[in-house]
């Protein structure tokens, strides 16, 4: 079970929700951290919302996600699909009639970026560290080797292994997405 599925649900109250524990708060923060860049990019870059509407929509996406967490989320991938759907749905709701249509090409790129990030999180720690330093921070292998106490050859091996594992994970995600309907 992924971290989202592990959000527990304590005492039910009159409003029909639950009383979150401190642990729930930490898990929720991890969920927000995971999806915030994606939701922000969908609203601002793909839908072109101005800052005020984007901020309102961003809050709305996470409010709806919070309300949905109870009972709906059982696996990480379900949550990813839900967030994709919520971000698009809320963006469409707040978009004004004269706004340009969302950029479908960018939405696909953002979906890919989210899938890559999720896949990255599933890598062994050393592979992930090397890949992040190589690909995201654009550090040289020699510097990575010094920082991690590895040989330059070992850094290259770990980086290649990380990319191979990432591609394998993304293959399966890509195939699943082809089978699943596009979120509305």
Q: Compare residues 88 and 97 and give the one whose CB is closer to other proteins.
A: 88
Q: Considering the rule CB under 8 A, would residue 135 count as an interface residue with other proteins?
A: yes
Output 16 or 97, the one with its CB closest to other proteins.
16
Which residue, 73 or 115, is less far from other proteins as judged by CB? 115
Show contacts with other proteins in window 86-125 (CB under 8 A): 105, 108-110, 112-117, 120
What DSSP string describes 86-118?
HHHHHHHHHS-TTSPPP-HHHHHHHHHHHHHHH
User: What is the spatial distance between Cα 144 and Cα 151, in angstroms, rounded to a whole number?
Assistant: 9
Q: Measured between alpha carbons, how far is 11 from 127 in angstroms, rounded to an integer?
A: 41
For other proteins, the closer CB: 74 or 174? 174
At CB < 8 A and 24+ separation, what contacts does 19-28 make?
A: 27/3, 28/66, 28/69
| Alpha-carbon distance values, 43 to 68, 100, 144, 158 (Å) | 20, 13, 35, 35
What angle do the packed helices 104-121 and 22-41 form, to 10 degrees? Answer: 140
**Minimum separation from the CB atom of position 98 to other proteins (A):** 25
Which residues in the 27-86 window bind other proteins by CB under 8 A?
Answer: 28-29, 32-33, 36-41, 55, 58-59, 62-63, 66-67
Residue 135 Cβ, how far from other proteins at the closest point, in Å?
4
- Count Cβ neighbours within 10 Å for each residue of 85-95 and write b for 16 or more, e otherwise: bbbbebbeebb
User: Cα–Cα distance between 76 and 6 in angstroms, integer?
Assistant: 10
Q: Looking at 20-28, 79-87, 93-101, 150-158, which segment touches other proteins (CB under 8 A)?
A: 20-28
Note whether 182 binds other proteins by CB under 8 A: no
Dihedral over Cα of 6, 129, 115, 61: its sign: positive
- Stretch of 82-90, 95-103, 142-150, 160-168 lying at the interface with other proteins (CB under 8 A): 160-168
Q: Which residues bind other proteins (CB under 8 A)?
A: 11, 13-20, 24-25, 28-29, 32-33, 36-41, 55, 58-59, 62-63, 66-67, 105, 108-110, 112-117, 120, 131-132, 134-136, 163, 166-168, 170-174
């Amino acid at each position: 079970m992924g971290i989202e599925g592990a959000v527990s649900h304590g005492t039910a109250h009159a409003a029909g929700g639950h009383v979150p524990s401190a642990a729930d708060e930490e898990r929720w923060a991890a969920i927000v951290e995971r999806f915030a860049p994606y939701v922000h990019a969908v609203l601002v870059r793909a839908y072109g919302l101005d800052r005020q509407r984007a901020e309102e929509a961003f809050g709305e996406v996470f409010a709806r996600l919070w309300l949905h967490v109870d009972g709906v989320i059982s696996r990480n991938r379900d949550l990813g699909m839900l967030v994709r759907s919520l971000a698009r749905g809320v963006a469409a709701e707040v978009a004004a009639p004269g706004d340009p249509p969302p950029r479908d090409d960018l939405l696909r790129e953002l979906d890919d970026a989210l899938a890559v990030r999720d896949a990255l999180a599933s890598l062994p720690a050393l592979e992930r560290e090397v890949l992040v330093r190589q690909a995201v921070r654009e550090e040289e292998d020699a510097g990575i080797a010094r920082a991690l106490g590895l040989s330059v050859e070992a850094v290259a091996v770990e980086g290649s292994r990380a990319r191979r594992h990432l591609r394998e994970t993304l293959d399966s995600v890509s195939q699943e997405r082809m089978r699943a309907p596009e979120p509305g």
